[in-house]
Amino acid sequence: MIALALAGVLLSDPAVCGVASSPRGVFFAAPDSLERLYARGRSFKQFLAAARARRETWLDNSARAVVPDRLLARARAIPGRWHLLVVAEDWCGDSANTIPYLARLVDSVPSVELRIVSTRDGRWVTERHRTPDGRAATPTVILLDSTGAAVGCFVERPAALREWLSVNRPRLSEHQLQQARAAWRRKDAGQSTVREVVELLEAAVQGKPQCGPT
């Protein structure tokens, strides 16, 4: 379930939200800089207004998203100006269950801004920042500093969910896995995603960029 040609299957809330990709080590040429790509992106409000696939999930998660006070305090204490460049699609379950929470964080922290681009424009970004198992996937979130340089990334889903899936996928049927994953997401309420991005920001300030395999 990696190619976009399988979008009809992907809409059933798959285990992955992959994008059509070239073999590892073969990258599409970057037609733009990350900074210029970010400048062409949409705000979360604009993206949400246009979302059609998984619309109820996007709206529900956006409405209930809350950033815990402890994470909010950490984020607000980070100096500098930062930008989150997000490559996402509305049909992707991982996008719908992570980006609304990041949008809430950004709404609450004036020093951080967020813009979203589609895989049509950001495919080269997903190619360069793959999942641990080698896939180009959405969402891919690139942390940019005030100069437009990439200083961190978050790919597809939080590590805690990735580890949970690794342990439970062999034990459960696909139906059971989907139900249990949905329960995990409801209980977590985006906290793992927000925590990881706050940690990216803290690491960037310390001059220790963090990212997944490239």
- Confidence tier at 17 by pLDDT (50, 70, 90): confident
Question: Of 117, 167, 159, which Cα lies nearest the Cα of 139?
Answer: 117
Q: Contact 180/172 with Cβ under 8 angstroms?
A: yes
Residue of 110, 84, 115, 40 lying closest to 193 (CA atoms) = 84
Q: What is the pTM of this model?
A: 0.87
**Cα angle, residue 86 at apex, residues 14 and 63 outer, rounded to 5°:** 70
What's the pLDDT tens digit per position in 72-131?
A: 999 999 999 999 999 999 999 999 999 999 999 999 999 999 999 999 999 999 999 999
The topology under which CATH files domain 4-205 is: Glutaredoxin (3.40.30)
Check pLDDT > 60 for residue 9: no
